Chains A and B, each alone.
Chain A
Amino acid sequence: MNGNLLELSNIRVSYGHAEVLHGVSLAIKPGSIVTVIGANGAGKTTLLNAVMGIVPAKGTILYDGASVPHSVEARVAAGLCLVPEKRELFSTMSVEDNVELGGFLRNASERAQTREELYTRFPRLAERRKQLAGTLSGGERQMLALARALMSRPRLLLLDEPSLGLAPKIVADILNIVSELRTTGVSILLVEQNARAALEIADEGYLVELGEVKRSGPAGELAVDPALMESYLGSPA
């Protein structure tokens, strides 16, 4: 026990014979935001899926100092929650039902309380309670995916490309919400291609390339690293 909420060591994931993660190690302290940045196909999504238990992984995943439970559902019960890149909403069900189902493992009073908090935080969703999730705009869907995840009262939120396909204004909104979440005690593992924006709100950063961690350190240091800037951040705005 060394105070980390999540500790990955030497995580390897293979699809068939092709190994896509070659021993990734990473640690998240309670209440911090850690971001994993890197190009398309670097293995970022696979890493999140391994943490969530969607793909089988070799290596050790310690959660709260103990070995993480085996199944996806048991990990949700333990306080891990993934917002996947494709959102995976229940598109033919109402916004309200989507939010409600997020709290499937919580009791009725916890659900009612969290739901009210969330509708205050996301007034757009409150307005559209009765609408089907499939009819929402991209930004609203991302908010609904976040709200659904928060209904489970996670201790560690795994976010996969929350800014993907969204307008810059909405990206800023979403990332604002993410950094606010930290104040409520939720730790966050944020996977992003939008490296500059991610490093701005994160405490620690990891650069993943072709299934390996190439660089890691405090987000502030990575953001000003000249080599990194050239390949991932572009010239400063």
Chain B
Amino acid sequence: MIATFLIQDGVTNGAIYALLGLALVLVFSVTRVIFIPQGEFVAYGALTLALLDNDRIPATTSLLLCFGAIAFLADLWSMRRGADVRAFTRSLALNLVFPAAIYGLTTVLVPLGLPSFAKALLTILIIAPMGYYVYRIAYRPLADASVLVLLIASVGVHLAMMGLGLVFFGAEGLRARPLAEANYTIGSLMIPAQSLWIYGSTIAIIIALYMFFERTLLGKALRATAVNRLGARLVGVRTQLTGVTAFTLAAAIGAISGVLIGPITTIYYDTGFLIGLKGFVAAIIGGLASFPITAVAAIGVGLIESFASFFASSYKEVIVFGLIIPVLVWLSLSHAFHEEE
């Protein structure tokens, strides 16, 4: 009886970890960036949704304006040695007009009292573009840097985004309203509708990612970049294009995770990091390369976490993060080590 509750709880959390793990694998395999700020997008997403639920304009819209403005300045700086009109207009539209449009849309829509699904979509629309701006500001100038430098940049971005989260959301935790309030019972098991949303969205995103990577030329270009960076450049795939795509997808996945997890747990400005790290454990088990292993491992992480919190609650995190050690030993023994490039 207790076991079924624990399993249900574990699978629900595991589904969220799976989404984050997939985003981490996606970003790392394409850009070699270990995307520590992934969790911040979850926190931003959940907090944005919670504020929308209270019919307030979420601070993330102003944050998006700031990000856009900084990205615009970065573009101006790189255009200082002569710019063409097209590049300038494009940068203007992407970095200033687009976030302003989202800001305007939010201020118009919020007083109307949207249904919860529309609020969820609006949240994703606000958060996903941040992935692009973060890439433009922090990672694009470092495109040729080593994995270590990129990792250090990630730590910086993580700390900056967490700090901005504290400034814009405050230190108090918020909880969003579920997308649907209903509960269903199967035998003795009670399944809240929110859990069904989580399972459904996770499965839908996994299928969508699969179709994207297998069926579209852009998806194949991302895989090609992951397999052979030089080969991809030689067929004309720009590093920037794959970078932008990977980061925007990761931010969108982060925002969706936030929307899904916001109603089932209280989220603080710094909660994202811990959630992201659990996705990271799954991604490590998948060798930062395999999508299916990562997804399965994430469910395992969720289950172990839920059982550990019942039987040894004070050691819950220790047990979950301790999982990495045997996996790393196994990976280092079974693979000959080769430094990339």
Chain A residues packing against B (C-beta within 8 Å): 52, 54, 71-73, 76-77, 81-82, 84, 88-93, 97, 100-105, 148-149, 151-152
Binary CB contact string for chain B from 220 to 240 against chain A (1 if under 8 A, 0 otherwise): 110110011011111111100
User: Is the CB of B112 closer than 8 A to any CB of chain A?
Assistant: no
> In the assembly, what is the distance between CA of A149 and CA of B234, in Å?
8
Enumerate chain A residues within 8 angstroms of B223, measured Cβ to Cβ.
90, 93, 97
Total interface residues on B, CB under 8 Å, equals 16
Contact assessment for A104 and B221 in the assembled complex, using a CB-CB cutoff below 8 Å: yes
CB distance from B289 to the nearest CB of A (A): 10
- Nearest to B218 among chain A residues (CB) is A104
> In the assembly, what is the distance between CA of A89 and CA of B224, in Å?
9
User: Is the CB of B217 closer than 8 A to any CB of chain A?
Assistant: yes
Contact assessment for B236 and A84 in the assembled complex, using a CB-CB cutoff below 8 Å: no
Contact assessment for A90 and B228 in the assembled complex, using a CB-CB cutoff below 8 Å: yes
CB distance from B293 to the nearest CB of A (A): 15
Contact assessment for B234 and A72 in the assembled complex, using a CB-CB cutoff below 8 Å: yes
Given contacts A73-B238, A76-B235, A91-B228, 14 further A-B contacts (CB under 8 A): A71-B238, A73-B236, A73-B237, A76-B234, A77-B236, A88-B231, A90-B227, A93-B227, A97-B220, A97-B223, A101-B232, A104-B236, A151-B235, A152-B235
Contact assessment for B235 and A89 in the assembled complex, using a CB-CB cutoff below 8 Å: no
CB distance from A29 to the nearest CB of B (A): 24
Enumerate chain B residues within 8 angstroms of A148, measured Cβ to Cβ.
235
A152 with B227: in contact, given A100-B217, A101-B220 (CB under 8 Å)? Answer: no
Contact assessment for B220 and A89 in the assembled complex, using a CB-CB cutoff below 8 Å: no
Contact assessment for B234 and A84 in the assembled complex, using a CB-CB cutoff below 8 Å: yes
Enumerate chain B residues within 8 angstroms of A82, measured Cβ to Cβ.
234
Most buried by B among A93, A148, A149: A93
Contact assessment for A88 and B236 in the assembled complex, using a CB-CB cutoff below 8 Å: no
Contact assessment for A72 and B233 in the assembled complex, using a CB-CB cutoff below 8 Å: yes
A104 with B234: in contact, given A90-B223, A93-B227 (CB under 8 Å)? Answer: no
The 5 closest A-B pairs by CB, nearest first: A76-B236, A88-B231, A105-B236, A90-B227, A73-B238
List CB contacts (< 8 Å) of B181-237 with chain A: 217, 220-221, 223-224, 227-228, 230-237
CB distance from A67 to the nearest CB of B (A): 14
> In the assembly, what is the distance between CA of A152 and CA of B233, in Å?
12
CB distance from A75 to the nearest CB of B (A): 9
Enumerate chain B residues within 8 angstroms of A84, measured Cβ to Cβ.
230, 234
- Nearest to A87 among chain B residues (CB) is B231
> In the assembly, what is the distance between CA of A81 and CA of B234, in Å?
7
Contact assessment for A104 and B233 in the assembled complex, using a CB-CB cutoff below 8 Å: no
A92 with B227: in contact, given A52-B234, A105-B236 (CB under 8 Å)? Answer: yes
CB distance from B258 to the nearest CB of A (A): 32
Enumerate chain B residues within 8 angstroms of A81, measured Cβ to Cβ.
234
Contact assessment for A90 and B236 in the assembled complex, using a CB-CB cutoff below 8 Å: no
A100 with B237: in contact, given A54-B230, A90-B231 (CB under 8 Å)? Answer: no
CB distance from A54 to the nearest CB of B (A): 7
